[in-house]
């Protein structure tokens, strides 16, 4: 598959860190706010709704990401796995850009799923399906480039590989920087979609007593 034991171990540990960064946690609360009607509280804040949620999500990462790194650090101390450590500094810059866009894509897609609550109370099913799909095709279990090339190309046309696979593979030098183009495209699409659904949902939103 083109991955040695050293590279594979490095990939798995790298994905663990990347997933701690790109997996969003706060957006799921928005569905509850919509159902309870408390979503209107966001409309009176002096900061835009999206910027406010991004700030909350970023604050959450400041807690969870260091914990994930600490746990991996303990693993390295006790088990001394043989890892591949990239020495090419530009790869780390590309990694930072890739993981930042992956986080934003994940954030906006998850937010769009929460906005479904504007029209139905049954929001658990789409969220569950999304979680299952991500677990298989985002690269959290294995590097996606070990799949047959036609399937790999198809997956790159979806937003999911840019959550976990792209940042990790890029920093390990196993994927081209051109994956950033796909990340950029899906960042624009996911933001546009989330903003469209939000604006449409707010226009149709009504809640007894408000």
Q: How far is CA 33 from CA 23, 70, 206, in A?
A: 20, 33, 13
| 204: phi then psi, degrees, rounded to nearest 5 | -95, 0
Q: What's the pTM?
A: 0.88
Q: Which residue has the tokens 């894509």?
A: 105
Question: Which pair of structure tokens corresponds to residue 175?
Answer: 């994927």
DSSP output for 118-170? GT-S--HHHHHHHHHHHHHHSSSSS-GGGS-HHHHHHHHTSSGGGTTHHHHHH
Separate counts of helices (H) and strands (E) for the chain: 8, 0
| Residue of 28 and 102 predicted with greater confidence | 102
Per-residue pLDDT tens digits for 96-146: 999 999 999 999 999 999 999 888 888 888 888 888 889 889 999 899 999
Identify the pLDDT of residue 124. Answer: 84
Please write the tens of the pLDDT for every residue from 32-66: 888 887 887 877 777 788 888 888 888 888 888 88
Please tell me the predicted confidence (pLDDT) of residue 208: 44
Mean pLDDT for all residues in the chain:
87
Confidence band (pLDDT; 50, 70, 90) for 210? very low
pLDDT at residue 206, as a whole number: 58
């Amino acid at each position: 598959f083109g991955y040695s034991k050293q590279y594979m171990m490095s990939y798995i540990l790298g994905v663990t860190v990347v997933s701690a960064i790109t997996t969003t946690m706060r957006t799921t609360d928005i569905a509850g706010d919509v159902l309870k009607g408390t979503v209107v509280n966001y409309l009176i804040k002096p900061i835009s709704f999206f910027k406010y949620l991004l700030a909350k999500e970023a604050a959450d990462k400041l807690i969870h990401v260091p914990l994930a790194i600490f746990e991996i650090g303990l693993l390295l101390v006790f088990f001394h796995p043989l890892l591949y450590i990239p020495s090419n500094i530009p790869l780390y810059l590309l990694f930072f850009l890739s993981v930042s866009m992956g986080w934003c894509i994940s954030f906006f897609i998850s937010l769009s799923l929460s906005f479904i609550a504007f029209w139905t109370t049954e929001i658990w099913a789409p969220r569950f399906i999304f979680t299952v799909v991500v677990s298989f095709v985002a690269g959290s279990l294995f590097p996606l480039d070990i799949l047959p090339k036609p399937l790999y190309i198809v997956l790159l046309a979806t937003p999911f590989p840019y959550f976990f696979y792209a940042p990790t593979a890029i920093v390990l030098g196993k994927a081209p920087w051109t994956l950033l183009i796909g990340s950029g495209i899906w960042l624009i699409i996911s933001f546009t979609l989330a903003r469209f659904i939000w604006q449409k949902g707010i226009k149709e939103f009504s809640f007894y007593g408000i």
